[in-house]
Amino acid sequence: MKTFHNPHHALHQGREEMFRGRMVPCHEVPARLDFVLAELQRRPLGSVEIPTVDNATLDAAIARVHSPRYTGFLAGAWDEWVAMDPANAQRDALPSVWPLGNRHAFRTDVLPANFAARLGLFSFDSGSPLTAGTWAAARGGAACALAAVQAVLGGERSAFALSRPPGHHAGPDFFGGYCFLNNSAIAAQALRDGGKQRVAVLDVDYHHGNGTQTIFYERDDVLTVSIHGDPSTEYPFFLGHADERGAGAGEGFNLNLPLPRGTGFATWRAALSTALEAVAAFRPEALVVPMGLDTFEGDPISGFTLASADYFAVGEALASAGLPTVFVFEGGYAVDAVGTNAVNLLEGFQRAAA
């Protein structure tokens, strides 16, 4: 299995996030990716490469998923932030006001001139600091997803996009949950554009893949399935319930499997079987796995209790789908263990797929 990693990822390094009423050091740190890379060197699964995707191809793939209004904002946001006050260079931009767009309480069609207003318009939480290197890092992560897709379209059984920052909370025109560009959605769309007629996304991160669900919610060519902490108590709270089944042409092509905080591996694994049955019934030609490792028992911000050894079985189960598979690195905040857990999952897949 080829791995594509993002050489620009450390350009995105938030200082602090707003977490339950306090400013705390960011959970989503560059060391996460470094631990996975180190484990891949210790237990190689295949080549580890830097993506060689040209800018025009990358921009086109990003534009298939994200609105130009949004990416235009992200591309220039840091320069605007610093231009407002040179002292801003020493602090990250965090949103603090939001338009509640779907309640008709505020307008979202008019682009505000005020930077703080636009920062709120294009986001949904104050946990995702925007820094000097966020745009370059996010683009580098998307390039990993695209390179992994190209490997699979070229005939590889699987490939791993070791991207950072993560992506599955980012929607067509908003960031949040540490995510700016939805790497998994970009991968799924690129597989479609590369000729795969139906693509399934099976999100195994602890948190609901709200951005991915939103992006494909009205489509019947991309099935989105997510196993996650029940949003009535778990982030991102406002999406991810079992009754969200898709809309319009996409009716029946979204499946949420929320589980209560505290769920252990036996129950989680049964949900994975249900998810894989839905994937098989869809008869996809490729699979994207937004691969969060925050289902781990030691994760500081999550609530399932999977053990490190369980991830081998997760990988084996995913291999049983028998599909060309793109893995995209998402969450996982028990930094010391994230490398072991990620490589356990991928090794389990590779062994079973061989």
Report the nearest approach of Zn ion to the CB of residue 230 (Å).
14
Nearer to Zn ion, 192 or 208 (CB): 208
Tell me if residue 169 is catalytic. yes
Nearer to Zn ion, 81 or 304 (CB): 304
Q: Which amino acid is it at 136?
A: A
Report the nearest approach of Zn ion to the CB of residue 131 (Å).
20
Among 26, 18, 123, smallest CA distance to 70 is for 123
Report the nearest approach of Zn ion to the CB of residue 258 (Å).
14
Residues of this chain that interact with Zn ion (CB under 5 A) are 205-207, 292, 294, 331
Nearer to Zn ion, 81 or 296 (CB): 296
Q: What is the DSSP string of 48-96?
A: EE-----HHHHHHHHHTTS-HHHHHHHHHHHHHHHHH-GGGGGS-B---
8 A C-beta contact, residue 70 and residue 173: yes
- Which position among 27, 66, 169, 207 bears the catalytic label? 169
Among 222, 180, 175, 174, smallest CA distance to 201 is for 222
Report the nearest approach of Zn ion to the CB of residue 14 (Å).
16
Query: CB-hemisphere CA count at 13 Å for 167?
Result: 37
In angstroms, the CA 184 to CA 203 distance is 9
Q: What is the DSSP string of 216-247?
A: HTT-SSEEEEEEEE-TTTSTT-SS--TT----
Nearer to Zn ion, 235 or 312 (CB): 235
| Residue nearest Zn ion, CB atom distance | 331
Residues involved in catalysis: 169
